[in-house]
Copies of this chain bind each other. A is one copy, B any other.
């Protein structure tokens, strides 16, 4: 960590600062130039509070040189993490060359719907079933999900197909209900719900951690660190688009996050093209692009409701379209020299 002092700092202030820093357990290296004084902090600076330091009146600017995440840091864990989800013959691996596609509807609506979709996406090759039981909605007047009943229907779909289930948790107080969920999703809006992350760190559940609406890669990794430092290392990162000033797509899908995250961390990285773009017709090109960029998997909304055919297009693709997309994704996976599970 490097701290640049402001002009006009007195010797007393400088010495107080150095004494305080040493007291925090870091080494200090002073470099005084004609126009500025720079202090280098050496050793384990991950516990130094950069906000506190940079807010000091005598400080002009602070920069962290090493990343403040440890458990999630590839520097200390060079091997790719492989996360195991489910068990027995339906066990799924993600990361370290194992590619997986999660598919299913935005919301669980009925037994017929979720079992029907589960069968369809399994036939196509998806190895995990997603479906929202608890739904985070901007408006209190929008559908909030079937909640506990939705979880029950997901279990039925798992029984019927063997697919491990993936669903979003919105509060630590619901953890009991999620006991047998195979992969617990933390949504973008809760990426910095630190009380929830701490609770998940105490469990052994695999966690799918989605990037916040306007989070940096570092913040995403620090949120993973909250879970991992609690003892749960089964974390999968998910890029799902970030907020921008343009409105043609709901968010901007940041695909360079894939190679960057894999450089910074050993955790698997998957991509959600459905939520990122908000347009079903962009799912195919963005799924292909994400795969080509090296993603370890995809999470795709697939919907099928013959009685309300109108809604089929809502940010979701149909099972038939999913089949086409998966075929193209599989071809791309072959090119980039890895095997699709």
Give the complex CA separation of A197 and B31 in angstroms: 37
A214 near B243 (CB under 8 angstroms)?
A: yes
Q: Which residues of B are found within 8 Å of A126, using beta-carbon distances? A: none
Given B56, B246, B249, which contacts A313 in the complex, CB threshold below 8 Å?
B56
Query: Does B331 contact A280, Cβ atoms closer than 8 Å?
Result: no
Binds B, one of A38-46, A79-87, A93-101, A114-122: A38-46
Protomer copies: 4
Contact check: which of B63, B244, B278 meets A245 at CB < 8 Å? B244
Which of these, B51, B230, B328, contacts A335 with CB under 8 Å? B328
Instruction: Select which of B140, B249, B332 is within 8 A of A292 by beta carbon.
Output: B332
Chain B residue at smallest Cβ distance from A293: B289
Chain B residues positioned under 8 Å from A77 (CB to CB): none
- By the criterion CB–CB under 8 Å, are A173 and B170 in contact? no
Choose the segment among A131-139, A157-165, A176-184, A202-210 that binds chain B (4+ C-beta atoms closer than 8 Å): A131-139
Instruction: Given A55-B315, A290-B289, A316-B55, answer yes or no on A194-B137 (Cβ-Cβ < 8 Å).
Output: yes
Size class of the contact patch on chain A: 35 or more
Decide: A280 and B194 in contact? CB cutoff 8 A.
no
State which residues 209-237 of A face B: CB under 8 Å. 212-214, 216-219, 222, 225-226, 229-230
Residues 234-252 of chain A, each 1 if its beta carbon lies under 8 Å from chain B, else 0: 0000000011111111101
Chain B hits for A36, CB < 8 A: 65-66
- Please encode chain A, from 244 to 285, with 1 for each CB lying within 8 Å of some chain B CB and 0 for all others: 111111101111101110011000000000001111111001
Contact of B285 with A292 in the complex, beta carbons under 8 Å: yes
- Find residues 47-61 in chain A having any chain B CB closer than 8 Å to their own CB: 47, 49, 51-59, 61
Which chain A residues numbered 1 to 24 have a C-beta less than 8 Å away from chain B? 2, 4, 7, 13, 16-17, 20
Q: 7 interchain pairs (CB within 8 A)? A: A33-B42, A40-B40, A51-B314, A138-B219, A140-B229, A245-B245, A247-B247
- 19 other contacts beyond A29-B31, A69-B139, A213-B213, with CB at 8 A cut-off? A17-B310, A20-B311, A33-B42, A38-B65, A52-B314, A57-B281, A61-B65, A68-B141, A138-B219, A140-B226, A141-B229, A171-B173, A217-B248, A245-B245, A253-B256, A255-B255, A256-B277, A259-B282, A263-B281
